[in-house]
Amino acid sequence: MTTPAVSALVANSISLIRREQHPSGSYPACPSYPTYRYCWFRDGSFIADAMSRAGEVASAEAFFGWCTRVLTTRSDRIAALAGAGPGSPRVYLPTRYELDGGESVTPWANFQVDGYGTWLRVLVDHCARHRRPVAPYSAALNLTVDYLNAVGTLPCYDWWEEFPEQRHTSTLAAVSSGLKAALSSEALTSDRRGAAVATSGEIDRLVAADTRRHGRLGKWLGSDVADGSLLACLTSYGTLAVDDPVAERTVAAIRDSLVREGVYRYAGDTFYGGGEWINLTAWLGWYEVLRGDSSNARRRLDWIASQADGGLLPEQVTGRAQRPEHIAHWERTWGAVATPLLWSHAMFLTLATACR
Ligand code: BGC
């Protein structure tokens, strides 16, 4: 049974995302938090996915149009990367853009690959879901495949913009999922198919070999640490079937170390003290829906709705932060926890849609 609080927050989330979408089609990560007044491929893709699932076709397609412009205006850079030999200088694409698609001059942990894989997955799923043509995005889809083939298995910053020396499981899963989405689309040109199969196959082998060592997915290759982002491997990216024993052990490890009412990113997180993240809580609920555990999924939905203040969701809630002594430092540095975080609203919408 959907509660009035959940219904109200669903309506509010859709109107907030619509209202904050920039005329260019980009979504700001958080309009009221200076560090997040930019568009990330990661956040933006999950926001577009939620809007697509909620039937907001025009909003999702405006975002895909923005991605297309961002990528096609950088085709020379992608071509140079794709042709770069070992040791040649590499100018990677950023993770965070100005809302008009320009590049921010503020330094950032910019080499993150997951968002480019995620946008391909979300784009292809959207076109199939709503029977929409993929042709308007075909040049960008092909360029993204070139980019992922060139850089998709390199170490890079993770979802949380940390640990750039590692190869992160959820990042690799995003790349493989995006390449498989492209392979399932008639828009992918035949000369790119071999490389896309090779890169996604290499990733799948790397991840499978790693899980054989630990019995479950880990934060990065060689690690047995749990991370909330791994929930996307079992839902958004489809890396494993939800009832695969490896998936079950991964979720068991997340439940053991990261779940209170909401879900922590990873043990020992100090960002705003390392609180419970709204988006990850929705991901856990989504996994539970797929396992047929609708009562726990609804509990997550209700808990998220109870965290909204005036209809707005934060990035994380810090009442049970793991390291509360770090909260003041971040408040002084970047301000109060980012609210409203559009990615939180998006994942709430995705969970609410899955619970219907
Ligand atoms: C998170 C990223 C996110 C960004 C914008 C960062 O604090 O670690 O995952 O993309 O905020 O929401």
What positions carry a catalytic annotation?
158, 161, 315
pLDDT digits (tens, 9 = 90+) for 129-183: 999 999 999 999 999 999 999 999 999 999 999 999 999 999 999 999 999 999 9
What pLDDT is stored for residue 87 in this prediction? 72
The pLDDT averaged over each successive group of 10 residues in the chain (356 residues) is 94 98 98 98 99 98 99 96 78 96 94 98 98 98 98 98 98 99 98 98 98 96 98 98 98 98 98 98 98 98 98 98 98 98 99 97
How many independent structural domains does the chain possess? 1
Which residue range forms the structural domain that includes residue 200? 4-354
Atom 5 of ligand 1: nearest residue by CA position: 29
What's the CA-to-centroid distance between 308 and ligand 1, angstroms? 19
What pLDDT is stored for residue 88 in this prediction? 72
What's the CA-to-centroid distance between 234 and ligand 1, angstroms? 20
Q: Is 298 left (phi over 0), alpha (psi -120 to 50) or beta?
A: alpha
What pLDDT is stored for residue 75 in this prediction? 96
Atom 1 of ligand 1: nearest residue by CA position: 160
**Which residue from 26, 41, 160 has its CB within 8 A of the most atoms of ligand 1, so it is best to mutate?**
160
What pLDDT is stored for residue 309 in this prediction? 97
| Structure token pair of residue 102 | 């320009």
What pLDDT is stored for residue 83 in this prediction? 87
What pLDDT is stored for residue 301 in this prediction? 98
Enumerate residues lining ligand 1, CB below 6 A: 29, 36, 40, 42-43, 159-161, 343
**Which residue from 157, 158, 159, 341 has its CB within 8 A of the most atoms of ligand 1, so it is best to mutate?**
159
CATH number of the domain at 238, please: 1.50.10.10
